[in-house]
Amino acid sequence: MPEIRVKIASSVGLHARPASMFVKAAAKHPGTVAIGRPGTELVDARSMLSVLSLAIGHGEEVILRTDGEGADGALTELSELLVRDLDA
What does the pLDDT look like over 30-87, one tens digit per residue? 999 999 999 999 999 999 999 999 999 999 999 999 999 999 999 999 999 999 988 7
For residue 31, the enclosing domain spans: 3-82
Residue type for position 38: P
Residues classed as catalytic: 15
* Residue 34: partners with Cβ closer than 8 Å, 6 or more residues away: 42, 43, 44, 45, 63, 64, 65, 66
What does DSSP assign to residue 35?
A: E
Give the model's confidence band at 12: pLDDT under 50 very low, under 70 low, under 90 confident, else very high.
very high
Q: How many domains does the chain have?
A: 1
Residue 88 confidence (pLDDT): 64
CATH code (residue 33):
3.30.1340.10
Report if pTM > 0.85: yes
- Is residue 88 a part of any domain in this protein? no
13-23 per-position pLDDT tens digit: 999 999 999 99
